[in-house]
Amino acid sequence: MQVLKRSGKSSGAFIAFIAAVVLTLPVSAHAADDPTPGSSKGGSPGPAAPADVKITTELPVKITVKNKSEQTTVTAKVKNSGSKDSGPITLSVVGFDGMRITGVEGCMPIPEARLPQGSNSGFACVIDNLAAGKDRSYQVAATFDLQKTGKICLPVTVGTSEKLIWQQGPVPFGASQPTPNAPDTPLLLGTENVPFGPQKPPAAELPRTGPPDGTLPLALAALALLVIGGTGIWWTTRSER
C-alpha cells in the first residue's frame, strides 16, 4: 500500500512555530456531530498506527458547490475509536486537482514548498490530545472548479512528526450528472466529477530546446532541494481503491 508520506528531515524551528501558533489560536474545532452523514471511504491505517489508539477520519458523503462562485464547505472529522488517548497528533487537509482548500478553522496553511506532490493547497491542524471515544470536527472552506475533477486527502500523523497513522484519500468528490443551469451542484464522495461548461484549451507546447526529456525535471528537483536547504518534505500519493 502506497501512503501519503514524508521523508527527509523537517525544520525543527518550523515545526515548533506551527505548533505554537496553532495551539494559541481560538479553538474553533468542535466535538458536536455534523448533521451531514460522514464516511471514512478511501481511508486506511498508516504504518505507525498504534494498537490501542484507533484514529480515523470522516468526510461528508455529499457537499454542494455554488455554480457561480465555485465555493463549498466541507466538515473534516478526526475520531479516536480506541481505548487509549491519542496524545499529540496532526490532521492535514489537502486539496488536489480542481479542489482547492482555502481555509480550515483553527489550522495553519502548509507552505507551498512543503505541499504533497501533485496537491495545490493544504492546512495542518495540530491537536494536543484526542481522548478515547472522542472526535473533533473542522470546518473547511474550499473552491471546486467544476470544469475539472477534484480530490481531498486527510492524513493524520503522530505529533508534529512524519509518522503516518491514518490517511483518507486522495478521494474524489464529483457529480456524474452535472447541473450547469442550477444555482448549486451536489457532489458525492467517491465519485469522479464529470466536468461541464467551456473547457479550457490546453496550453500550447513550446518548441523543445536544451537537454533531452527527463534531464530538466531532475535538474529542477535538485535545485528545489538546494533552495529549501534540505528541509523539504517529499510526499507520494495513492489512488482511491
> Is residue 180 domain-resident?
no
Q: What is the pLDDT of residue 176?
A: 86
User: Is the pTM here over 0.75, yes or no?
Assistant: no
Q: What is the pLDDT of residue 35?
A: 54
Look at the alpha carbons of 224, 230, 233, 238 in this order and tell me if their dihedral is positive or negative. Answer: positive
> Is residue 133 domain-resident?
yes
CA distances from 129 to 27, 78, 100 (A): 13, 11, 28
Tell me the C-alpha distance between 195 and 189, whole Å: 16
> Is residue 147 domain-resident?
yes
Is residue 96 within 8 A of residue 153, CB to CB? The reply is yes
Owner of C-alpha cell 528545489: 224
Tell me the C-alpha distance between 154 and 42, whole Å: 10
> Is residue 123 domain-resident?
yes
Is residue 140 within 8 A of residue 158, CB to CB? The reply is no
> Is residue 66 domain-resident?
no
Tens-digit pLDDT profile for residues 67-118: 999 999 999 999 999 999 999 999 999 999 999 999 999 999 999 999 999 9
- Report whether pLDDT(12) > 50: no
Report the candidate in 235, 240, 241, 230 with the shortest Cα–Cα distance to residue 118: 235
> Is residue 241 domain-resident?
no
Provide the domain count of the chain: 1
> Is residue 194 domain-resident?
no
> Is residue 186 domain-resident?
no
CATH of the domain at 131: 2.60.40
Full domain range(s) for residue 138: 12-30+42-57+72-172+211-228
